[in-house]
Amino acid sequence: MWMRNSSKQIAKDRLRNVLVHDRADTSPDFMSNLRDDLMRVVSEYMEVGQSGADFQLQSVDDHVALIANIPVKQVRRGRRPGNN
């Protein structure tokens, strides 16, 4: 019996991600910079776990969607940093 995440499914998912990135005209550096920027902004509002964060571009109909999965340890309460 095959496991849910079989090698075949993992390979299909990777290929799908490569195709979506190619259609969106993004590079690995672009995604790395985007990840760093998003983590910085989200960490202003929440304490986040750096490991386990996952960012993907997915094709949805005729659009590309950014899917961000960020582990949240704690929501920061009170006013936003930088606001008076």
Is residue 7 included in any domain, yes or no? no
Q: What total number of domains does the chain contain?
A: 1
Is residue 3 included in any domain, yes or no? no
Is residue 68 included in any domain, yes or no? yes
Residues in the chain predicted with pLDDT less than 70, given as ranges, are: 1-5, 17-24, 79-84
Is residue 19 included in any domain, yes or no? no
Is residue 53 included in any domain, yes or no? yes
Show the domain range for 66.
27-75
pLDDT for res 61: 76
pLDDT for res 76: 85
pLDDT > 70 in the chain, percent: 75
Burial (CB count within 10 angstroms: exposed 0-12, middle 13-18, buried 19+), residue 29: exposed
Is residue 4 included in any domain, yes or no? no
pTM: 0.61
